[in-house]
Amino acid sequence: MTPLEKTDLLQGTLDLLILKVVALGPIHGYGISQRIRQISQEVLQVQQGSLYPALHRLEKRNWLLADWGESDNGREAKFYRLSALGRKQLAAEEQTWARLSSAVALILQTAE
Amino acid sequence: MNTWRKSGSRGQEDAMDREISHHIAELTEVYVAQGMSREEALRRAHLEFGGSEQVKQTIREVHASAFIETVLFNLRAATRFLRKSPSFSLIIIFTLALGIGANSAVFSAIDAVVLRPLPYPDGNQLVALSQFDTQGRDANHFVAPIRLEDWNRMNSTFTAISGYYLDDISETSGPFAEKITEALVAPRFFDVMGVWPALGRAFTHDEMRYGGPRAVILSHRYWLSRFHGDPNAVGSRIRIDDKDYPVVGIMPASFQFPNADADLWEPSPMDAPFEVNRNLTWFNVIGRMKPGVKLHQAAADLATVQAKLGKQFPHPDAELGINSESLKQLTVGTTPSSLWLLYSAVSLLLLIACSNIAALLLARTAEREHEVSVRYSLGASRRSIVLQLLTEVFVLALLGSLAGLAVAAISVRGFQLLSKTLPRAGEISLNWTIVLYTLLAALVTTFLCGLVPALRGTRKSLAHSLASTSRTQVSTRNPVQWFLVGIQVTLAVTLLLGAGLLLRSMQQLGRVNAGFDAANVLTFQVSGSWAETTDMKNVIQRINRTIDTLRTIPGVQAASTAAMLPGVSSKYQMEFKIDGNLDPGNRILADNRLVSYGYFETMLIPMLAGGPCQRTSTTTDVVVNRSFASRYFHGNSPVGHSLVDAAGNPYIGNAIIRGIVGDAREDGLDTQPAPTVYFCFSAPNPFPNYLVRTQGDPMAMAQTIRQKLHEIEPGRSVYALMPLQQHLDDASTENRLRTRLLTLFAATAVTLACIGLYGTLSYLARLRQREVGVRLALGAMRGQIAGKFLSQGLRVALAGCAAGLMLGFALSRFLKGMLYGITALDPLTYAGVVCLVIGVATLASLLPALRAARLEPVRVLREQ
């Protein structure tokens, strides 16, 4: 599939994606960007210029916790994991997203 | 967001770099795997990652805004928390308002009196110079005009040296003569001060010469009162005594030298024919040191100058030394040491308040353990929780310090009211320095009060308390709390000791027999001018006539004049020869005072032998006091013997001792009477102090006396009318003020320490309710329980008391010079302090102890 332009990513959606990906287990920044690309089948390509500020913002909000560790190929990397607060936040955002997308879908269907 | 970058830790930047290079390394591997050369792969990776500096900048902004968000969040959380328990918050704010306010108030005085230079350009370069007799025969410190000019010409460390003296004159253009104060100034006066007229000009060279044109410069205050601030005053004339003087300039309002009373300045030429006599001295000398020159360098330079003069004029210059003192030091005198004493006291008080608040907060955080552990489990770091707890305290301290500023503002008004008796008190003001200081105090207070509770309240071990549901998990030993109470008692005892010593000194001073009776004595002056002294006979006649007139007024019992008021310090010592003999091993040193006939009668100083000063007496008639007679005549009667000035001053002839009077504390109530020689002379200067003993309240006679004197001297004004007692009180203002304030601070300190003791014991009793309940249920006596709590409180009070006595003893040397009639180890004070502290500590502990023992065991056990 053709990748979406980065501006197409809804404001706030990136946070949700990151939280969801991190929820699967501790992961470093590069891994997050790869994972989002793979799962979305290359549709969503996160720019590093947005990814890293977002990671730091989530860490500052105590939603993500970070530790330094070794990556698969033995390099030093910063691993992010979800805090209890982050888990709550993820649940809340997932719910919001579900309501939002079903609402949008509803409008699109009705308009047809 | 550079500020963040600078203030943020280096680790933050480093971590960011490492994270980004990891990403690029991973990307590079991908391209290498696709078959690119490593170099090419790295280039591609960088290209794909985009501008890494830009990414880093965005991350930095995230951190910076997060920092501000955290601060705002903490502030909001703090306000919310404080609003939830308003009485708790108000108590702390009120305590801090008083603590910080008192501190800022005293600091404002220190800032104005001690720290700030005198209000002249480069005021710290100004020096007061005086001459002194190296043989200690003569305490006269005034300087001869010709010597002043020599100093100015021969030195190498001064920009200029000048001088002044004060004269009272009458401004006679109105229907009533008005007494005004003029400063007669030597050449270069304005150069030394560094201040020139705001309107008009300074004196010209011609005006500074003997016989030159007349000129005066007005003070801003006098310009306002006499000319209503009319700029045309410059160029107009005022009438002084019987001569017209052109006004050539107006000084700026801030210029108040030599003092705030100076109404005008007039040239005092240095080239008058009578000014060649090196023994005639009347100038107060001031000098401005060259930039960068220090006082000791100037003093060394002047010593060389005087040594040269000594060779040139062996008599008298070889026996003269030069005393140099910074003008500021001369102006403020002993006030700085009093102020530092008060400052230490208020700082101790603030420390007590802080440890009190710390104890309150400790109890509080103990109750918030649950909240803290929840935050931990939600992933908050200890740092962020500590920061939040500190923010709460900071909000309290900030509110407290703002209220404290109001306290300081009121105190500043109080200080200004004392400007008549406290040097530079008029300069004390609430300015930005004080506001900044107060905010700084709030910050320091935050850490003093908040750090220990915040750190104790967030210990990691507490995180587990979430798991344990027991409500009695709180430690009941609380050594930190008791330590804080101990500190409060220690500091309170220290303050109490200081206050006690000052109070005892004052009490001792009150018991002193002055040797004269200041009650019902009215004092005043009648204007006169030094110019009149060209005809001394006339001055003496005028003053004697005034004294005689006063004596005829009904209700007046006695009247006299004196150069200096009794009981007001005027160290003026001279060396004498008795009957022309000089014994170097037994020098005859004595204070001397110039008094008129009727003086001993007015002051009720008893005649012991011989007779008092007579109306016909001249300076060759003297009366000595009992100390003089017993020290220098060893039981023989001195009456009839002669005294001569050992320094050979020709103006004091061969004086005959006419009588002996009782010892009186002429030089101040706190000074032992020294051997004293009274010269009988009713006109020591043209405007001596009149002393009138009245039948009743002296001020009730004021109007009658004014009227009567107007009848005989319509051209002269009567001024400075006040009871002698008022002068004596003014002389001890500083002493009374510091004693009262220190007592007030000590009382507050003791109260705070008691509240601390009471609060801590009550809190502990509450925590141990269950234990007490069990004990009571098991048959313990209520008395035992109460005794246990009581002894716990008293043990801490006793330990604090012992520590406080030691600290107070160590610090009491700072009270040296302020104590009178007791030593710093006064047993009565120590005993009193111990009794007082143990007494109030017992009361403060008894209440919570009794309450703890009155517990109903069944109810408590059921509740818990």
Residue B552 has pLDDT above 80, yes or no: yes
Measured over the CA atoms of residue B112, residue B113, residue B118 and residue B119, the dihedral's sign is positive
B522, B701 in Cβ contact below 8 A?
yes
Distance between the two ends of chain A, CA-based, in angstroms?
25
Pairing type for strands B689-694 and B521-526 reads antiparallel
The per-residue pLDDT for B285 is 95
pLDDT confidence tier of residue B10, bands split at 50, 70 and 90: low
Q: Do A52 and B20 touch (CB under 8 A)?
A: yes
The per-residue pLDDT for B139 is 64
B784, B850 in Cβ contact below 8 A?
no
Q: Is the pTM of this model over 0.90?
A: no
For residue A11, being part of any structural domain is answered with: yes
Backbone angles phi, psi at B558, to 5 degrees: -160, 155
Concatenated DSSP letters for B397-458? HHHHHHHHHHHHHHHHHHHHHTTTTSTTGGG----HHHHHHHHHHHHHHHHHHHHHHHHHHT
ipTM exceeding the 0.85 mark? no
The residues that bridge with B643 in the sheet, in sequence order, are B578, B655
Closest CB to B378: pick one of A52, A73, A84: A84
Task: For chain A, give the number of residues.
Answer: 112
- Comparing C-alpha atoms, which of B435, B129, B496 is closest to residue B286? B129
Paired tokens of B596: 């008129």
Measured over the CA atoms of residue B185, residue B188, residue B194 and residue B199, the dihedral's sign is positive
The per-residue pLDDT for B303 is 94
The set of residues, in sequence order, having a beta carbon less than 8 Å from that of B630 and lying 6+ positions away, is none
The residue in chain A having the minimum alpha-carbon distance to the alpha carbon of residue B28 is A30
How many Cβ atoms sit within 10 Å of the Cβ of residue B294?
Answer: 11
The per-residue pLDDT for B541 is 93
Question: Per-residue pLDDT averaged across B534-558, rounded?
Answer: 92
Residue of higher predicted confidence among B171 and B699: B699
The set of residues, in sequence order, having a beta carbon less than 8 Å from that of B347 and lying 6+ positions away, is B103
User: Is some CB atom of chain A closer than 8 A to the CB atom of B20?
Assistant: yes
pLDDT confidence tier of residue B289, bands split at 50, 70 and 90: very high
Question: Per-residue pLDDT averaged across B699-713, rounded?
Answer: 90
- B226 exposure class (CB count in 10 Å sphere: 0-12, 13-18, 19+): buried
Residue B207 has pLDDT above 90, yes or no: yes
For residue A1, being part of any structural domain is answered with: no
Q: Do A76 and B15 touch (CB under 8 A)?
A: no
B618, B654 in Cβ contact below 8 A?
no
Least reliable range by pLDDT among A39-43, B291-295, B323-327: A39-43
Indicate the average pLDDT of chain B. Answer: 86
SS (H, E, C) B754-799: HHHHHHHHHHHHHHCHHHHHHHHHCCCCHHHHHHHHHHHHHHHHHH
Question: Residues B171-197: pLDDT tens digits?
Answer: 877 666 777 888 999 999 999 999 999
The per-residue pLDDT for B834 is 93
Furthest CA-CA distance within chain A:
54
Measured over the CA atoms of residue B166, residue B167, residue B168 and residue B173, the dihedral's sign is negative
Q: Do B23 and A48 touch (CB under 8 A)?
A: yes
Residue A14 has pLDDT above 60, yes or no: yes
Residue B841 has pLDDT above 80, yes or no: yes
Paired tokens of B509: 């001073």
How far apart CA B480 and CA B355 sit, in angstroms, is 10
- Measured CA to CA in angstroms, residue B13 lies from A31, A60, B8, B25, B38 at distances of 21, 15, 8, 18, 27
B525, B688 in Cβ contact below 8 A?
yes
Distance between the two ends of chain B, CA-based, in angstroms?
54
The residue in chain A having the minimum alpha-carbon distance to the alpha carbon of residue B61 is A53
Alpha helices in B185-294 (DSSP H): 189-193, 220-227
Q: Do A77 and B22 touch (CB under 8 A)?
A: yes
Residue B544 has pLDDT above 60, yes or no: yes
Amino acid at B634: H
The per-residue pLDDT for B848 is 87
The residue in chain A having the minimum alpha-carbon distance to the alpha carbon of residue B27 is A30
SS3 B291: coil
Interface A-B: count of C-beta contacts within 8 A = 71
- Comparing C-alpha atoms, which of B361, B359, B364 is closest to residue B481? B359
The residues that bridge with B718 in the sheet, in sequence order, are B526
Closest CB to A52: pick one of B59, B70, B379: B59
The per-residue pLDDT for B470 is 46
* Full residue range of the structural domain in which residue A79 is found: 6-111
> In chain B, which residues have their Cβ closer than 8 Å to the Cβ of A53?
55, 58-59, 61-62
DSSP 8-class letter at B283: B
> In chain A, which residues have their Cβ closer than 8 Å to the Cβ of B25?
75
- B714 exposure class (CB count in 10 Å sphere: 0-12, 13-18, 19+): exposed
Residue B720 has pLDDT above 50, yes or no: yes
pLDDT confidence tier of residue B550, bands split at 50, 70 and 90: very high
How far apart CA B253 and CA A97 sit, in angstroms, is 74
The set of residues, in sequence order, having a beta carbon less than 8 Å from that of B700 and lying 6+ positions away, is B694
The set of residues, in sequence order, having a beta carbon less than 8 Å from that of A89 and lying 6+ positions away, is A19, A61, A63
Domain with residue A90: its CATH number is: 1.10.10.10
Paired tokens of B21: 């290079």
pLDDT confidence tier of residue B1, bands split at 50, 70 and 90: very low
Alpha helices in B34-51 (DSSP H): 38-49
How many Cβ atoms sit within 10 Å of the Cβ of residue B720?
Answer: 14
Q: State the nearest Cα–Cα gap between B66 and chain A, in angstroms.
A: 7
The residues that bridge with B326 in the sheet, in sequence order, are B127
The per-residue pLDDT for B4 is 36
SS3 B712: helix
How far apart CA B624 and CA B636 sit, in angstroms, is 13
Q: State the nearest Cα–Cα gap between B6 and chain A, in angstroms.
A: 18
Paired tokens of B327: 């003008």
The per-residue pLDDT for B571 is 63
Question: Per-residue pLDDT averaged across B596-610, rounded?
Answer: 94
* B158: Cα within 13 Å, side-chain hemisphere: 32
Which residues does A contribute to its contact with B (CB < 8 Å)?
28-30, 33, 47-49, 52-53, 56-57, 60-62, 65, 68, 71, 73, 75-78, 83-86
- Measured CA to CA in angstroms, residue B281 lies from B69, B325, B426 at distances of 73, 19, 32
The per-residue pLDDT for B473 is 45
Q: Do B379 and A56 touch (CB under 8 A)?
A: no
pLDDT confidence tier of residue B44, bands split at 50, 70 and 90: confident
The per-residue pLDDT for B583 is 73
Least reliable range by pLDDT among B39-43, B153-157, B500-504, B558-562: B39-43
Domains in chain A: how many in total?
A: 1
The set of residues, in sequence order, having a beta carbon less than 8 Å from that of B354 and lying 6+ positions away, is B99, B445, B448, B449
Residue of higher predicted confidence among B574 and B748: B748
Residue of higher predicted confidence among B468 and A86: A86
Range among A61-75, B374-388, B624-638, B773-787 with highest mean pLDDT value: B624-638
The per-residue pLDDT for B26 is 86
User: Is some CB atom of chain A closer than 8 A to the CB atom of B425?
Assistant: no
pLDDT confidence tier of residue B2, bands split at 50, 70 and 90: very low
The residues that bridge with B706 in the sheet, in sequence order, are none
Closest CB to A48: pick one of B25, B49, B61: B49
E strand or H helix at B595, and its extent? strand B588-595
The residue in chain B having the minimum alpha-carbon distance to the alpha carbon of residue A85 is B378
Question: Residues B225-283: pLDDT tens digits?
Answer: 889 999 999 999 998 877 889 999 999 988 988 888 889 999 999 988 878 888 878 89
Paired tokens of A19: 């939280």
How far apart CA B109 and CA B115 sit, in angstroms, is 9
B125, B288 in Cβ contact below 8 A?
yes
The residues that bridge with B576 in the sheet, in sequence order, are B588, B645
- Comparing C-alpha atoms, which of B257, B177, B170 is closest to residue B217? B257
How far apart CA B694 and CA A83 sit, in angstroms, is 91
